């Protein structure tokens, strides 16, 4: 550890929606941050306000290639997370999860760093258990169009636990459920950003299926707070631990909330449900409450208002620091 409580921290995917806010929080906590991103879905706009900070460094790098740096902690957030982006080049998506995990775990092993894997609720697939707890092994189609992401993240978890058992690497694994907030990509195809952008533009809001499928939406700030708590747990707390909001909403209810909060007159249009799209998704966060003392605090209405404010400014060409 460098300089007492100050740590050198590597964040892969650090220019992305979640990674950029994580970098910001680590800087505010007094750490040195190395942000690594290949800018496939991340953008310099997300970290522009950090570029001149003396404890922040940006490196354009693809985690499918090894990286040789000296750090105390690693947050592995590198991987496209929306279906539109991860299905664009599915083989590369799998490589990012698998080769990226191998390279970051190899780095952690060499320098003795703690490493946190940003896994996903997608490891549960289209679940037969509801809500999903960490002991559930999942229901995933290994040859479907979502498998590049689902199985890539499942394999990454396997690698993390094998490096922990075989090489004593200090690992932390969190499974991130649906998360939203400022800095989401406006064209990432995720339901919250889709609905808000369509509503603000006065375009029809696209609902896939009948809208009865459920999701549980966690605001960005709550999510990152949970990840920071996870990294700071004792070495014997390795996870996996679900990080998400246990309050469930239907897709139709979300659309109605967005319409009400934006004042939009957009109509609703329905399209067929994509293959392997989960019908229910909701975390059991009992383990997070017990082991991290964490649970989300930002209501869906509050989080949506902040996200709408961000997209309203973005679409109008105004700058925003949300």
Q: Determine how β-strand 179-180 pairs with β-strand 218-219.
A: parallel
Q: Report the C-alpha gap between 252 and 257 in whole angstroms.
A: 9
Name residue, tokens 């092994």.
137
Based on the residue annotation, tell me whether 68 is a catalytic residue of this protein.
Answer: no
Q: Report the C-alpha gap between 14 and 73 in whole angstroms.
A: 14
Q: Which of 21, 149, 163, 180 is catalytic?
A: 149
Give the residue from 187, 184, 248, 181 showing the smallest Cα distance to 213: 248
Q: How distant, in Å, are the alpha carbons of 91, 111, 119 from that of 157?
A: 18, 20, 7
Give the residue from 191, 169, 178, 31 showing the smallest Cα distance to 104: 169
Q: Report the C-alpha gap between 216 and 45 in whole angstroms.
A: 28
Among all residues, which ones are annotated catalytic? 149
């Amino acid at each position: 550890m460098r300089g007492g409580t100050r740590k050198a921290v590597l964040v892969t995917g650090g220019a992305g929606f979640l990674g950029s806010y994580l970098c910001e929080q680590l800087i505010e906590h007094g750490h040195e941050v190395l942000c690594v991103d290949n800018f496939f879905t991340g953008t310099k706009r997300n970290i522009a306000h950090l570029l001149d900070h003396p404890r922040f460094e940006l490196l354009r790098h693809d985690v499918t290639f090894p990286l040789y740096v000296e750090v105390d902690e690693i947050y592995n957030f590198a991987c496209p997370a929306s279906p539109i982006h991860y299905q664009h080049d599915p083989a590369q998506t799998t490589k990012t999860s698998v080769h990226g995990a191998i390279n970051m775990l190899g780095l952690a092993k060499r320098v003795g760093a703690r490493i946190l894997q940003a896994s996903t609720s997608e490891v549960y697939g289209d679940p037969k258990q509801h809500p999903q707890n960490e002991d559930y092994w999942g229901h995933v189609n290994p040859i479907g169009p979502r498998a590049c992401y689902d199985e890539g993240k499942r394999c990454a978890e396997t690698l993390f636990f094998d490096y922990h058992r075989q090489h004593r690497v200090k690992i932390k694994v969190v499974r991130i459920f649906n998360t939203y907030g400022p800095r989401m990509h406006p064209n990432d195809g995720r339901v919250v950003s889709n609905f808000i952008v369509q509503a603000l533009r006065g375009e029809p809001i696209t609902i896939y299926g009948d809208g009865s499928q459920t999701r549980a939406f966690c605001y960005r700030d709550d999510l990152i707070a949970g990840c920071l708590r996870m990294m700071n747990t004792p070495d014997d707390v390795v996870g996996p631990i679900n990080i998400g909001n246990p309050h469930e909403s239907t897709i139709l209810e979300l659309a109605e909330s967005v319409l009400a909060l934006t004042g939009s007159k957009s109509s609703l249009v329905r399209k067929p449900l994509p293959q392997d799209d989960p019908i229910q998704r909701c975390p059991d966060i009992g383990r997070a409450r017990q082991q991290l003392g964490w649970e989300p605090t930002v209501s869906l209405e509050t989080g949506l208002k902040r996200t709408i404010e961000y997209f309203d400014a973005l679409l109008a060409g105004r700058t925003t620091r949300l």
